[in-house]
Structure 1
Amino acid sequence: MQETPQWIAEVSMEELERNPYPFYKRLRNEAPLAFVPVLGAYVASTRRMCEEIAHHPMFGGVITKAGGRTFGHPAVIGVNGDIHEDLRSMVDPALQPSEVDRWVEDMVRPIAQRYVTEIEMNGSADLMAEYCEKVSVRAVGNLLGLASVDESTLRDWFHRLSRSFTNAALNENGEFANPRGFDDGDAAKAEIRAVVDPLIDQWIEHPDDSAMSHWLHDGMPEGQTRDREYLYPTLFVFLLGALQEPGHAMGSTLAGLFSRPEQLEAVIDEPALLPRAIAEGMRWTSPIWSATARICEEDIEIDGVLIPANTPVMMSYGSANHDTNAYNAPSEYDLRRPPLPHLAFGAGNHACAGIYFANHVCRIGLEELLDTFPNLELKPDYEIDFWGWGFRGPTELPVVWEV
């Protein structure tokens, strides 16, 4: 293994969580593929490097050490071969565009309208807690079959799982620097099982159209279902990544538009611009910033960097989306920039299965919000604070409007 430069060896998890951009900018310029000791992994930081590894035939999906500790095995994002094909055949059908088009409007729009109505007469709100995250978790929760679980519980689950997943710091021995950092995530998983186990019992005997019912039954011989222990790791992936992504994407899109008032006004006047505004929001602040990884079972050299066998490479898509070789002035939000696909949903055969669904949740949520509050403004003198390295989004989004 090549000697790690001191500036890379000294980076802390606290620094990455608060603001990863300066460190990753230097990585892109000086070491696009580098071993980062605090993560116990190599990091791919440029668009070209992320795409090369994501599509490389010798690399497969793997979960980071903290991710594996959080989700267990087999989780869809960390397996390959027949198991990966089976898990994708299980989760993909409900998320195909033709299937999503069949029900997304009828399911998501009433959810968005409900939460708009709850805040409409208040004149102010923290949109992250009171709208964006609520719309996101309710839509995904209903898709999974968790309509009986209230949105506060769903939000609590994904925040606790997120803290567990991003408890990634390792010490000099390659062990977790904060092993107690997984305790709250473990408690959340126990709560999830207590709620979901009775639902699984019901779906086994009485299948319905929920995603998890299909996970149990689809592709199985008559009278058989997949084992629940086989499903839980992938469910935990959905209860973290899928629950948070549309909400954080909505929040980041609004934050970007608040930084460009003329573009916010254009979107309010012309809602057809929303898909482009959302795509730029996801590029500008990718919700899944650096939470997926790849691995090769043998030593491999990429651009002169030798990666030892079975060493994970973290795919820093949030960094790749700020690559100046791909985007002009990438740190600025600009929905008018020339269209270029972003990597917020990943790449290769482990790309996110929910791309189409997530985009529609964001579109419908923002349509309802901006149609109801065309005079929406960020709270005066408030500077939006973002947080996260594995997953990233605004911590709060306080806004005001005329009642």
Structure 2
Amino acid sequence: MSVIDLGEYGADFTANPYPYYAKMRAAGPVHRVRTPDGAEVWLVVGHEEARAALNDPRLSKSASVLGLTMLDEEVIGPNLLGVDPPDHTRLRKLVAGEFTGRRVEALRPRVQRLTADLVDAMEPAGRADLVDALAFPLPIIVICELLGIPAEDRDTFRRWSREVVTPSGTGAEQDAIEGLAAYLDELVEDKRAAGPADDLLSALIAARAEDGDRLTLPELRGLAYLLLIAGHETTVNLVTTSVRALLTHPDQLAAVRAEPALLDGVIEEALRWDGPVEAATYRFSREALTVGGTEIPAGEPVLVSLASGDRDPERFPDPDRFDVRRDPRGHLAFGHGIHYCLGAPLARLEARIAVRTLLDRFPRLELDPDAGAWEWLPGILIRGVRRLPVRW
């Protein structure tokens, strides 16, 4: 099988990978590709095959099956995205017991207040970069408050998390991960010493399973790291994409303004149409397996393209059309199977409140025509723009 070099597509692929994914899907659901950063991997692009691969135990989430350790796991420690059962089952059970729907729903008034305050601060200028003004500060404040992280450290976390999910290629990624590890160690020890508190990290420190099992320091560090990175960076882009989709589809924006009950459809369709995670994090074949008629040898890295799967016309008719009345159930934006995103309810809550507040407060909200071209985030992990200038 020939190797498709995604890097050869250049900036056009970063800005709009969907025509390229469509061409690949037409040729088959699985391909051997070279990613823009030079790695050769198997890429799953069909929806049915992607859904199956996300829940296939023959595809391990741990690089240890290849005798390797991913950089973040080596420095930070184990987290839910990088372990398999039974370790994953144990960790998820301990975390899920504290990261409950009730805890998320209890955040609603705080999320609404934060959103209102941020929009109040935006309003007088008549224009803003939506990322800096709302889409970034809202989820980082929420996740930092949830974990009990001091407000003065938020900007530092932004620099670290952006470098981790979209590395600059300057070698700063390792510095960011090491900085996060040292900070989280100190934070966990401070919270242990302080005793019980209402924040999630304190609850995780105190959490015990029925058999007395508790999270170790490396596990606490890994979980806090995952919640900070996954719980913030993806929500930034979900908020931004939801607004960008509406402002580039005036008919859909008009429909939502006329029928506010369509808001849930906005968020779910944005997740399907241009979700914040382009490809799920690496999987590794434990054994030879066949996916979509393609033989993948044992010991190979595999990427599942959530973005491509969610534009598969076999699953979603007219998939390139953004349609807030579509039934998008079955989309893969939050993954599938045992690694389905634990933070999905929180991301949905924040995005709904953010978009609703913007539409209510700014009846003439539009893209800033003087802003120039969008700058897309590099790589094929996180999908989004660095800035979204708007005016009202």
Q: Same fold (TM over 0.5)?
A: yes
Residue 2 of structure 2, aligned match among 1, 4, 7: 4
Inter-partner Cα distance in structure 2 for 1:392 and 1:85: 29
TM-score, length basis structure 2: 0.88
Alignment of 1:350-389 (within 5 A): 350-380=339-369, 384-388=374-378, 389=380
CA contact (8 A) 2:130 2:389 kept: yes
Inter-partner Cα distance in structure 1 for 2:73 and 2:120: 36
CA contact (8 A) 1:21 1:319 kept: yes
User: Shift of the alpha carbon at 1:269?
Assistant: 3.9
User: Shift of the alpha carbon at 1:240?
Assistant: 2.2
User: Shift of the alpha carbon at 1:251?
Assistant: 0.6
Residue 218 of structure 1, aligned match among 186, 207, 224: 207
Residue 23 of structure 1, aligned match among 5, 20, 23: 20
Is 1:69 aligned to residue 59 of structure 2? no
Residue 303 of structure 2, aligned match among 281, 300, 314: 314
Gaps of 5+ in 1: 168-180
C-alpha RMSD of matched pairs (Å): 2.7
Sequence identity of aligned pairs in percent? 28
1:176 alignment partner in structure 2: none
TM-score, length basis structure 1: 0.86
Residue 104 of structure 1, aligned match among 98, 102, 107: 107
Query: Structure 2 counterpart of 1:289, which letter?
Result: E
2:136 alignment partner in structure 1: 133
2:260 alignment partner in structure 1: 271
Alignment of 1:177-192 (within 5 A): 181=169, 183-192=171-180
Query: Structure 2 counterpart of 1:87, which letter?
Result: L
Once the two structures are superposed, what CA deviation does each residue of 1:88-131 show, in whole Å capped at 9, x if it has no partner?
12332343323322x12122112112211211111000101211
CA contact (8 A) 2:41 2:303 kept: yes
CA contact (8 A) 1:61 1:294 kept: yes
- SS in structure 2 at match of 1:306: strand
Inter-partner Cα distance in structure 2 for 1:282 and 1:198: 35
CA contact (8 A) 2:287 2:297 kept: yes
User: Shift of the alpha carbon at 1:347?
Assistant: 0.6
Relative to structure 1, is the Cα distance of residues 371 and 390 closer, same or farther in structure 2, using a 3 angstrom cutoff?
same
CA contact (8 A) 1:291 1:316 kept: yes
CA contact (8 A) 2:44 2:305 kept: yes
- SS in structure 2 at match of 1:313: strand
User: Shift of the alpha carbon at 1:63?
Assistant: 5.9
Once the two structures are superposed, what CA deviation does each residue of 1:121-163 show, in whole Å capped at 9, x if it has no partner?
1100010121111112111222222143444333222211112
CA contact (8 A) 1:157 1:239 kept: no
Inter-partner Cα distance in structure 1 for 2:369 and 2:6: 37
CA contact (8 A) 2:264 2:352 kept: yes
CA contact (8 A) 1:145 1:211 kept: yes
Alignment of 1:110-259 (within 5 A): 110-164=113-167, 181=169, 183-205=171-193, 206-219=195-208, 226-259=215-248
CA contact (8 A) 2:59 2:285 kept: yes
- SS in structure 2 at match of 1:395: coil
Aligned residue pairs total: 381
Query: Structure 1 counterpart of 2:80, which letter?
Result: V
Inter-partner Cα distance in structure 1 for 2:172 and 2:78: 21
- SS in structure 2 at match of 1:336: coil
Residue 398 of structure 1, aligned match among 385, 389, 392: 389
User: Shift of the alpha carbon at 1:232?
Assistant: 2.4
Gaps of 5+ in 2: none
CA contact (8 A) 1:299 1:307 kept: yes
